[in-house]
Amino acid sequence: MNPLFNMFNRPQQSQPNPSPADYLTQRFGNIQNMKNNFDRFRQNFSGDPKQAAQNMINSGQISQDQANQIASMVNTFFKFFH
């Protein structure tokens, strides 16, 4: 699977029935980790993101559906974190 997709679509591990405090801590921690990963990705990426995505589609590394999912996630994260 695509590393970008993996970074933004990691499965969440949770307890079967966490307490409300544990639930909030888990969710906040996951959000903070996602924000840190997103910020790190943005800092390290260079070039035209649309062209990079198109190159990955053309080479078969990702499908158009995966590219659409990633674009949607990135747009959501960008709006949420900035």
- Asked if residue 35 is part of any domain, the answer here is no
For residue 48, give the 3-state DSSP assignment: coil
Residue 40 has pLDDT above 70, yes or no: yes
- pTM equals 0.51
32 pLDDT higher than 80: no
Closest residue by Cα to residue 56 from 69, 44, 43: 69
* 65 found inside a domain: yes
Instruction: State which residues form the domain around 75.
Output: 56-82
In angstroms, the Cα distances linking 7 to 18, 19, 29, 41, 60 are: 25, 27, 15, 9, 19
Task: Give the pLDDT confidence score for residue 77 in this predicted structure.
Answer: 74
Q: Is residue 19 part of a domain?
A: no
Averaged pLDDT of the chain: 77
Which residues have CB under 8 Å from 37's CB, separation 6+? Answer: 7, 8
Total of domains in the chain: 1
Evaluate whether residue 44 is within a structural domain. Answer: no
pLDDT of residue 19: 73
- The Cα-based distances of 2 to 5, 14, 56, 76 in angstroms read 5, 24, 9, 19
